[in-house]
Structure 1
Amino acid sequence: MALVLEFLILSLSIFLLFLLIKRNRTPKKACLPPGPVGLPFIGNLHQLGNSNLHEHLWRLSQKHGPLVYLRLGSRPALIVSSAKMAREIMKTRDLEFCSRPFLAATKKLSYNGFDLAFAPYGDYWREVRKICVVHVFSSIRVQSFRSIREDEVSRTIEKISKSALACKPFDLTTEMVSLTSTAISRAAFGKTYEIGGSDTERFLELLVETQAMASSLFLSDYFPCWGWLADKLTGMTYRLEKNFEAFDAFYKRIIDDYLDPNRPKPEREGSTILDILLQIYKDGSFKLQLTLDDIKAILTDIFLAGTDTSAITVNWAMAFLMKNPEAMRKAQEEVRGFVDEDDVQQLLYLKAVVKETMRLQPTVPLLIPRETTKECSIGGYEIPTKTLVYVNVWAVGRDPETWENPYEFDPDRFLGSSIDLKGNDFELTPFGAVLEFLILSLSIFLLFLLIKRNKTTKKACLPPGPDGLPFIGNLHQLGNSILHEHLWRLSQKHGPLVYLRLGSRPALIVSSAKMAREIMKTRDLEFCSRPVLTATNKITYNGLDLAFAPYGDYWREVRKICAVHVFSSIVVQSFRSIREDEVSRMIEKISKSALASKPFNLTTEMVSLTSTAISRAAFGKTYEIGGSDTGRFLELLVETKAMASSLFLSDYFPCWGWLADKLTGLTYRLEKNFEEFDAFYKGIIDDNLDPNRPKPEREGSTILDILLQIYKDGSFKLQLTLDHIKAILTDIFLAGTDTSAVTVVWAMAFLMKNPEAMRKAQEEVRGLFGNKGFVDEDDVQQLPYLKAVVKETMRLQPTVPLLIPRETTKECSIGGYEIPTKTLVYVNVWAVGRDPENWESPFEFDPDRFMGSSIDLKGNDFELTPFGAGRRICPGIFIALFTVELSLANLLHKFDWEMPSGMNREDIDMNDVLPGIAPRMRDDLCLVPKAYATGHK
């Protein structure tokens, strides 16, 4: 391994020196446009981390001129910021600037460029453009959807009218997204996906994620040789693939439904865009033979281009009018009496408002990037082939050479003007030697590193592990979505202790009960700290929580507070009524589904139950699915979990990883999520601290009440701040929602796959409480087989398979091996639960193995530690167990369960797992409940 590393470092050094020599021998002839000086290798990429990129590029144009040249990694880029240059590119020299670059995200989402918007210029693009212009976007076709637009606007007006009667604020942003997505989905394939609709969450999640992917930065676009690896390590590749597969499956269901010969005939053939495209697909008389992938790609264009864009423009327009009362007055005076689309054509001032809005806030400020088809010249400068070209229409709209008072919102400027939005007026087209030194320096540095490595002998006796690569170590081997399984396979080859090098950080994987005992009990003090990782450090307010805080005086004090005041048996029991109430409400919902003999989504319902129960216990509010504030709360929670389980390169490459995180958008995404959750907490805490707040029935009735009392008290050794409280609440939500819900779903899946175990569990609970309407927490303690089912579920599918990583506090030894200071330690409890040295038939689901056994889940038996053990055991273990056992007991007591029509037990796929803090089955568990007749045996 050492020789391989030396060879690769030497090879890279020679390559860089060769690059330098070649560069010196190649005269620089091209007269490129001016631009800021970049860095070696990355060029100007580091200067694009600004969230308001179009503003940043506009400032560059203020300094360098209307044409700015940038080097983005290995790709040249041209920024255009004036109407004159925009005309040159989009009209005079259009043929040379009309192609599209193949970028990782848009290429994938458009089925390798089989759409219209992102397809490169060529024969395919010309043919698909003809089809779309004539059959999809023609004036006749657009008019055919007029009734849909008017109907959706009319429904929005009705909603606003109700809000007006109640004098309540109305969320225009949310409503406009609902209006546009519903109108487009009705036009596209005759279905609605408005906010509050049945399939809304799935559809909008897909749409939001697709838009996020399309606008994300993939390093492979700028560094083809190695960027793919960075994209893979940061999870961007997996995220893109997952999103593509989900949207493809969504399209497939829609298209299969359309192609079904038994489908009811529509009132009017060709009434949707999908109808039209499928007719062309079946026709076969066109020069271009459309495929189903072509159709999906065109539909993706329509959804990406038509939802947020229209909605955002309306929101900007309303915001501008609210800030400019005179313009609002003029627009309203003109528009009073507006009825339908025919009337709109007569509203000149309203059209001027729209133009002025799009001048100041074009929906796509940089338009979709173009790419030069060949080497060409513009404005006296030479532009290389395959240069990325961004037309900054946001900057063009503020050009003082074109507009008088360009920063003012003044619709009057368009009255009597012939300027339109159709692409004819280029002042308004919203739709539309340092390097050598540093290469040498890096080469010398690498050679020095090689020399130093040869002189440094390796003394430490490290555990065995797979060979890694230079610099990145074993990081490339962690791209597996089911990481705990991949690490288990490594342990099968290398043993119960596996050593990995993750970038610059050493890591230890533990996969046996014996070694787990060593780490979590015998040598607990040396292995009890936590690593400071980017995401968890940020969302816990720099480690001010309990779960992720490094070991030390602070952690000991906050642990005392939580153990005595938050997670004590008295406090846990005080929330018993909440748990029983939420389970009771779930049983009521299932009973209604049973009466209708409909499948019931246990996955969704359990997430709703746990999040609602925890939020009620935490601060007395409910955030169940379907509740008033659900969307906001669940979005924040889901994104926080995603951030906590994301891979940040800065954790493994401190010197430069932060730049990769910034460029891929992870840093911005983390900051945004933190700020939003912080604002959410602030609102809740401010409400609790409000002296005019109605007094609760019982003081200290929520976890937030308890923590705020300690905050006000001031008599504790540790003076809690509001940030401490927010961090502790974050722990509770991260640890308590998905984890308990996922365990119940796994348990039900195992029971469905094992009818004999299901029979035993149901006979036990019904035999004891058959005539009782509800099984409460006292009753659950009399159900040893049910408890065995929970243990067996957590053995095979622990909710956090690798636990939360630990970190060594000093250099130490274990199992005859030396472990460096600050080594990341992952205990693979998923692997421990399958160890044949501890378990007979370890891959079988057999709750009977725990009958008469003293093994429990409290961290004393290291062959079964799903909650961890030692100092770092999960403090919320009893809340989790009460919730899981109570839910499962009532599900088994009240109902028999069957598979939906056309499915059998084998169709439950327990191998296809979604990664995350608490991995779960990719497909929701939907079962048909049958009410059990009480008293019947």
Structure 2
Amino acid sequence: MALLMIILLSLAIFILFLFQIYNTKTSVRFPPGPKGFPLIGNLHQLDNSKPHQYLWKLSKEYGPLMSLHIGFVPTLVVSSAKMAKEVLKTHDLHFCSRPSLLGQQKLSYNGFDLAFAPYNDYYREMRKLCVVHLFNPTRVQQFRPIREDEVSRMIEKISKSVFASKPVNLSALVMSLTSTIICRVAFGKRYEDEGVERSRFQALLNETQAMFASFFFSDHFPFMGWIDRFTGLISRLEKNFKNFDTFYQELIDEHLDSNRPKSEQEDIIDVLLQLRTKRLFKIDLTMDHIKGVLMLALANLLYKFDWQMPDGMKTEELDFDVLPGLTMHKKNPLLLMADNYVAIRDLNRFQHRNLPTPTRAAASASFKLHHTVHYISSTAVTTAVFPFLVFDPGGNVLFDVGALDNSKLHQYLWKLSKEYGPLMSLRLGNMPTLVVSSAKMAKEVMKTHDLHFCSRPSLLGQQKLSYNGLDLAFAPYNDYWREMRKICVVHLFNSNRVQQFRPIREDEVSRMIEKISKSVVACKPVNLSELTISLTSTIICRVAFGKRYEDEGIERSRFQALLNETQAMFTSFFFSDHFPFMGWIDRFTGLISRLEKNFKNFDTFYQELIDEHLDANRRKTEEEDILDVLLQLRKERLFKIDLTMDHIKGVLMNIFVAGTDTSSATVIWIMTYLMKNPKAMKKAQEEVRNLIGNKGFVDEDNVQKLSYLKAVVKETMRLQPTAPLLVQRETTKKCILEGYEIPTKTVVYVNAWAIGRDPEAWENSEEFDPDRFIGNSIDLKGQNFELIPFGAGRRICPGIYMGISIVELALANLLYKFDWQMQDGMKKEDLDFDALPGLAMHKKNPLQLIAKIYI
């Protein structure tokens, strides 16, 4: 307690010191500006998505030259043509450098580009290179056929929409047009609209734009840089940089390949590689210089249609809301109806001061570099860290907030439990927390005192995405939850329902085996991580929604993007959950707007599925899907609660997120352990092959006879549960546990990963030994507390049988049909067990293996 008082006193003195600095007079005459607060300056006054509008309003009061402080960074805002001329022409030499901002520096290879490089000799030489060789009029003219070809393709797409009387999503079309032109101009590649590579490119582009405009505390509060690491923004930036660097390197390697077919036109990479060879400039171009330059490029558009509003919409309903970023895109997609008429616009006159028209939007340059840097962005912080301030009974802080990587949090807590015991109290901000790390204590919490420990904490992300707890997984323990659980157990996840969906599981596993066989014939390595995610998500979509999305279609890409974002949101750290008085940071960093956007997108996705199922003209399938069952229950009203559409969406969310994520991750961890342990692999393969013989496929009846395979599944789930920390519980009332008083509303983490290594429950707990389960009655159903990957007690996962069925069937066929080897140059020792943070922890590095057909 004494140490805590010292910390608080030190903080108070520091704040007083800041006030003193802030109020100290200075002889420097700054332009006028609004008075800010100590420490944060004017940061609180800026609207994330509309800083330009807000600053414009401030300029009306403080003038066209206005000074602000964004954190510790002195800032000047120019808002008139006269002042712009002073800055950009008269005093241009003094104003032409760039600030060193973390995201921009990282993604530009430490300023090796042109846009974000500081003004120095390197910049002048690089600008000369770009102006003379990349963006000169001759080069722009050289790429004219590409621009005209892609615009022609876009016009053709719109024409098809005209004939089909469909509205045109101009936002999507224009994004596709510009990115395709840039890819052809810069890389010499054209990605198909619905292909995997196109999806990858677009995802990389979106994430990079987000990172460029992200708000990093270290840029504005150097002493608070730990928050960037603490919120996961640093790890997200590193991951984005690594992904884009890999993307660039693949492109460069293709261009350096002597067997690459030569195209008629040089692209920008060709030019840069030639310049690197010729060494015509004062700087020696490295690959990092080239990658930095590849960050540049934008294109212009022309249209040849008269546009109308879709039926039922008026021009007054058009909005001008924007998404924050380096370039501000329209927030809501522009959907219009097109008439095939060539419209000629006057590009030389302004007609209305306050209406953005095509006359002012047109630009004469063929390539433009966007130089504006927005300091404030609503770009979200992807979770990577939980903020733990841990106090022992004496009040001593045990470790600092920056120590925890969420992908290894379970390991860190396990190490702490070795010192403080299997029942450990922490404090997450203002939230009292209990960590359970042994089978004995898990039994106390999840069985003996289960009634007191079976609620859920109200956490912002979980509550929002579960429709305020209208689901099953995140709902608090009350009458509603009991009734909803009854619905799920009796009608959705019972053994008959699981058996009903057996043909779907067997069909999709068969399709996966066929894909792998094609890779074998083509002598290509198999990306098992990608295949199993596709397998489980497809099974869940067919079971839950009655739909099958093609692997490379637009709907599949949309589905996967929604899933990824939702998983990120579920595990994101919201300050308001742990520090209620600091909830403004969630809005300030853009995490709230990102959560709202994700919720809106998923709600739209669910509503479309529901509308399809309610359509009287919908083609009936032979088997009911889960959505059919829920809509029927809503109609019959057999339960105490009246099912609304939000209730149904909440349940769909549980199935969608949990069902897709956990099964795919489990299969990959199992295959990783088997590759690491060849004897276990051989034994499992011999078992399944001896049983099946030459039948060609392992069905679910066969799986029940594979005792060693089931032991392999259990052993992997012991060592690598996909949810190492089970979903948080919360106490419903004060209770006594092992002589300790546990307060009401204490958050409880059950460390399933640590329990799988409990020395009191397991011999040689770190060894992978499936034989320990042969002749052993321990199962996965929550009755044996030394093995609880699906939880236990009232909160055990109701979809356990569905999940196990998918895992065992997929694994049995992978082992039966193929022999597996490491890629050339790799050994089993090279296999890693690094994990990505999330509700379910996937293997960080994809598992890519060489398959050989056995039968």
Amino acid at match of 1:205: A
How big is the shift at 1:68? 4.3
Distance in structure 1 (CA, Å) of the matches to 2:631 and 2:152: 47
Report the Cα distance in structure 2 between the residues aligned to 1:847 and 1:893, rounded to whole angstroms: 18
Q: Deviations over 1:570-611 (max 9, x none)?
A: 222222222122112222222333333332222112111111
Q: State the Cα deviation string for residues 671-697 of structure 1 (Å, max 9, x = none).
A: 00001111111122123233x333624
Q: Does 1:900 align with 2:823?
A: yes
Quote the residue 1:696 is aligned against: 620
* TM-superposition CA deviations, 1:270-302 (whole Å, max 9, x none): 9332233334434445322333322222212x2
2:199 counterpart of 1:275: no
Larger CA deviation: 156-165 vs 86-95: 156-165
Q: Does 1:570 align with 2:567?
A: no
TM-score (norm 1): 0.80
Please state how far the C-alpha of 1:13 moved relative to its aligned partner.
Answer: 2.2
Structure-to-structure mapping, 1:309-348, within 5 angstroms: 310=299, 321-322=307-308
The letter of the residue matching 2:137 is S
Change (3 A) 1:17 1:638: closer
Pair 1:429–1:122, CA change in 2 (3 A): closer
Match of 1:740 among 629, 645, 663: 663
Deviation at 1:123, TM superposition (A): 2.4
Residue matched to 1:133? 131
Please state how far the C-alpha of 1:737 moved relative to its aligned partner.
Answer: 0.4
Structure 1: 5+ residue stretches without partners:
325-359, 369-401, 433-459
Check the 8 A contact 2:112/2:293 in 1, yes or no.
Answer: yes
Residue 891 in structure 1 maps to residue 814 in structure 2 = yes
Q: 2:70 aligns with which of 51, 72, 83?
A: 72
Does residue 1:406 correspond to 2:381, yes or no? no
Q: Deviations over 1:604-650 (max 9, x none)?
A: 12111111111111121123422451122211111111111111111
1:782 to 696, 699, 705: 705
Residue in structure 2 matching 1:231, options 212, 228, 233? 228
Q: Quick check: 1:898–1:928 contact (8 Å CA) kept in 2? A: yes
**Structure 1 residue corresponding to 2:248, chosen from 246, 251, 270:** 251
Q: Tell me, yes or no, if structure 1 residue 467 matches structure 2 residue 397.
A: yes
Give 1:554-703 correspondences, 5 Å limit. 554-656=480-582, 658-690=583-615, 692-694=616-618, 696-697=620-621, 701-703=624-626
Contact 1:644 1:917 in 2 (8 A): yes
Secondary structure of the structure 2 residue equivalent to 1:288: coil
> Are residue 919 (structure 1) and residue 841 (structure 2) matched?
yes
Shift of 1:269: 11
- 8 Å Cα contact 1:636-1:676 kept in structure 2: yes
* Cα distance change, pair 8–686 in 1 and its aligned pair in 2 (3 A): same
Pick one of 415, 429, 441 that aligns with 1:503: 429
SS of structure 2 residue aligned to 1:655 = helix
Spell out, residue by residue over 1:57-100, the C-alpha distance to the aligned partner (whole angstroms, 9 max, x if none). 44444555544443322223333333333333222332232222
For 1:683, the aligned partner's letter is E
Highest CA radius of gyration, 1 or 2?
A: 1
The alignment's C-alpha RMSD in Å is: 3.2
**Closer/same/farther in 2, CA of residues 112 and 539 from structure 1, 3 Å limit:** same
Give the residue type in structure 2 aligned to 1:724.
H
In 2, the alpha carbon distance for the partners of 1:68 and 1:532 equals 43
Q: Displacement, 1:406? A: 2.0
Distance of aligned partners of 1:929 and 1:288 in 2 relative to their CA distance in 1, 3 Å threshold: closer
Instruction: Please state how far the C-alpha of 1:199 moved relative to its aligned partner.
Output: 2.8
Counterpart CA distance in 1 for 2:700 and 2:137 is 66
Corresponding position: 1:705 with 2:705: no
Q: Deviations 1:835-868 (Å, cap 9, x if unpaired)?
A: 3332222222221111111010000111110000
Tell me what 1:863 maps to: 786
**Greater shift after overlay, 837-846 or 61-70?**
61-70
Secondary structure of 2:223's counterpart equals coil
Residue 472 of structure 2 corresponds to: 546
Q: How far apart are the structure 2 equivalents of 1:58 and 1:116?
A: 28
Deviation at 1:468, TM superposition (A): 4.6
| 1:241 and 2:163 are equivalent in the alignment | no
CA distance in 1, matches of 2:391, 2:511: 57
**Residue 208 of structure 1: CA displacement?**
1.5
Which one-letter code corresponds to 2:710 in the other structure? K
Q: 1:430 to 1:124 in 2, by over 3 A?
A: closer
Q: Among the aligned pairs, what percent are the same residue?
A: 57
Letter of the 1:14 counterpart:
I
> Which secondary structure does the structure 2 equivalent of 1:143 belong to?
helix
Contact 2:778/2:784, CA 8 A, preserved across alignment: yes
Q: Give the Cα–Cα distance (whole angstroms) in 2 for the partners of residues 365 and 66 of structure 1.
A: 24
Q: Contact conserved, 1:277 with 1:295, CA < 8 A, in 2?
A: yes
Superposed displacement of residue 726, structure 1: 0.7
1:31-430 → structure 2 map (5 Å cutoff): 31-35=30-34, 37-62=35-60, 64-157=62-155, 159=157, 171-226=169-224, 228-258=225-255, 263-264=258-259, 267=262, 271-284=266-279, 286-300=281-295, 302=296, 305-306=297-298, 310=299, 321-322=307-308, 403-408=350-355, 421=364
Which piece of structure 1 moves more, 137-146 or 870-879? 137-146
Partners of 2:110 and 2:793 lie apart in 1 by 52
**In 2, Cα distance between equivalents of 1:739 and 1:269:** 48
Q: 1:112 aligns to what SS in structure 2?
A: coil
- State whether residues 45 and 71 of structure 1, in contact with CA within 8 Å, keep that contact through their aligned partners in structure 2: yes
**Letter of the 1:130 counterpart:** K
Q: In the alignment, does 2:724 pair up with 1:801?
A: yes
| Number of the residue aligned with 1:346 | none
Corresponding letter in the other structure for 2:841: P
Distance 1:320 1:534, change over 3 A: farther
Can you list the C-alpha shifts for 1:856-881, whole angstroms capped at 9, x where unaligned? 00001111100000111111000000
Find the partner of 1:759 among 682, 697, 700: 682
Q: Do the aligned partners of residues 291 and 587 (structure 1) sit closer, same or farther apart at CA in structure 2, a change above 3 Å counting?
A: closer
CA contact (8 A) 2:444 2:450 kept: yes
Question: Is the CA contact (8 Å cut-off) linking 1:800 and 1:919 kept in structure 2?
Answer: yes
The alpha-carbon distance between structure 1 residues 831 and 637, as it changes in their structure 2 partners (threshold 3 A), is: same
Partner of 1:437: none
Write the letter of the residue equivalent to 1:921: K
Per-residue CA deviations over 1:788-825 (Å, capped at 9, x if unaligned) read 11111111111111111112223333334333332221
